[in-house]
Amino acid sequence: MSEVYRSRVYTDRPAYADFEAPAKFQAIMGIIATRLRQHPKAICSYSGGSDSDIMIDLIERTRAMFDGQLPPVKYVFFNTGLEMKAIKDHVKETAAKYGVEIEECRPKVSIVQSARTHGIPFVSKIMSAGLEEWQKKGIPLSIAEEYDQAEDKAAKRKELKERYPKCESVINFLCCCNSAGEPRPDIQLVINSSKYMRDFIGEYPPDFCVSAKCCDYCKKQVAHRVQKDYEMIITGERRDEGGMRSVPRQDNTSLCFTETASGQYRLRPLYYVSDKDKAWYKEHYGIKYSDAYEVYGLTRTGCCGCPISYKAVDDLEKIRPYEPNVVKAAWNIFGKSYVYRQKYNEYKAQRTAEAKEAAKTAKAEGDGK
């Protein structure tokens, strides 16, 4: 049996990651207290979402437990310019509940400006970045077929690099390989991490620019500007959210506390908190989420209408009876991506059905011999 590779987020787990919810949250509160003592100048991003609600309650509950021995935390809310009223109201209510200030910060470049200048997201941040580079570089999709048919794939990868200089990442993305030319069809960084995507793009090229720059402008750049003078940054990422948040990188390894390249520290108190843990905490401490959850029926908020969510269109329909103007704005900005994703979903379903039917036919023919 071949050995199955397991990411460090699974193999280097701290003991408390596998505790039952009550003991796990007690351990997390201990971590928060320790890190606030060590790094008292701390800033925390509060989004108004359910993870943020659990996180701010944990922090303020910990501070109350130590009765003034722990420093206050600076809270900030990054308003992208496309936010539900339910979220904005909840931010104000949360600040009042805990007797803290949650400062609202806005981007210098709005979502609308970013979309018009660079493009709109499609499927995921990784997919968007790969397709954005592919569109800019103008490399033909046919290089993937060349690579697939090559006997010496490392040599082909080298030849492609020479043919298309300064295009290594997009070559790897399209050919589903690494820089050594080794096939890597199952990792998140390649086009076919979404099944049949390369074939779909080839048959139905997008008629709009793809880019996830809106996230950079409306969240990351704002966050860097606001957080740069603080010693410790507290965020609510959870490994169970998947995507890039489950992938170890320089400042996000298997630990919930790390040092960044800038010399700051990053604390992720909820990194090992599961959906089940969250549900227990909400029930046990009587946490009330925003109306986006409690009334509209959303299970996740994030950036309103972001096409990266596979449920974006369905969620917008849940929002529509309460906030139709937000829904209209989201469709005006991201509409082409919504439609294109639906077309991709239909294409993938058809290809999957055809593959199953072909396998069934091959099996029947094999059994008949």
Say whether pLDDT at 236 is over 50: yes
Beta-carbon contacts of residue 300 (< 8 Å; ≥ 6 apart): 49, 50, 309, 311, 315
Rounded (10°) angle between helices 153-163 and 142-149: 150
Q: Is residue 49 part of a domain?
A: yes
* Top-confidence range, 25-29, 218-222, 237-241: 25-29
- Write down which residue in 171, 203, 235 finishes a domain: 203
Angle at 326 (CA atoms; ends 302, 244), nearest 5 degrees: 20
Q: Is residue 320 part of a domain?
A: no
Of the pLDDT bands very low, low, confident and very high (cuts 50, 70, 90), residue 32 is very high
Say whether pLDDT at 259 is over 60: yes
Of the pLDDT bands very low, low, confident and very high (cuts 50, 70, 90), residue 248 is very low
Q: Edge-to-edge, what's the strand order for the sheet holding 74-78?
A: 102-105, 74-78, 42-45, 232-234, 265-267, 257-259
DSSP-based three-state secondary structure for 360: helix
**Of the given ranges (11-20, 34-43, 267-276), which has the lowest mean pLDDT?**
11-20
Q: Rounded mean pLDDT of 29-33?
A: 95
- Write down which residue in 157, 181, 203 finishes a domain: 203
d(CA 98, CA 64): 10
Of the pLDDT bands very low, low, confident and very high (cuts 50, 70, 90), residue 46 is very high
Write the pLDDT tens digit of every residue in 115-174: 999 999 999 999 999 999 999 999 999 999 999 999 999 999 999 999 999 999 999 999
Q: What CATH number corresponds to the domain at position 258? A: 3.40.50.620
Predicted confidence at residue 157, as pLDDT, reads 95
Q: 232 and 149 share a domain?
A: no
Q: 13 and 101 share a domain?
A: yes
Q: Is residue 322 part of a domain?
A: no
Predicted confidence at residue 242, as pLDDT, reads 55
Widest CA span in the chain: 80
Q: Rounded mean pLDDT of 267-282?
A: 95
Q: Is residue 110 part of a domain?
A: yes
Which residue is associated with the tokens 């992938």? 247
Q: 26 and 61 share a domain?
A: yes
Say whether pLDDT at 365 is over 50: yes
Total domains in the chain come to 2
d(CA 363, CA 357): 10
Q: 288 and 164 share a domain?
A: no
Of the pLDDT bands very low, low, confident and very high (cuts 50, 70, 90), residue 323 is very high
Taking a C-beta distance cutoff of 8 angstroms, is the pair 318, 296 a contact? yes
Q: 110 and 219 share a domain?
A: yes
Mean pLDDT of the chain: 90
Q: 89 and 218 share a domain?
A: yes
Percent of the chain past pLDDT 70, that is, above it, reads 92
Predicted confidence at residue 11, as pLDDT, reads 55
d(CA 124, CA 241): 13
Q: Is residue 3 part of a domain?
A: no
Q: 35 and 109 share a domain?
A: yes
Q: Rounded mean pLDDT of 97-121?
A: 93
Pair of tokens at residue 102: 């949650």
Write the pLDDT tens digit of every residue in 48-61: 999 999 999 999 99
Q: 182 and 232 share a domain?
A: no
Q: What residues make up the domain containing 73?
A: 8-114+213-295
Q: Which residue has the higher pLDDT, 368 or 127?
A: 127
Say whether pLDDT at 368 is over 70: no
- Quote the pTM value: 0.84
Virtual CA dihedral for 344, 345, 349, 352, nearest 10 degrees? 60
Q: Is residue 254 part of a domain?
A: yes
Query: CA dist 95 to 33, 233, 282, 304, Å?
Result: 21, 19, 18, 21
Neighbours of 347 (CB within 10 A): 17
Say whether pLDDT at 303 is over 70: yes
Beta-carbon contacts of residue 114 (< 8 Å; ≥ 6 apart): 211, 213, 214, 216, 217, 218
Q: Is residue 95 part of a domain?
A: yes
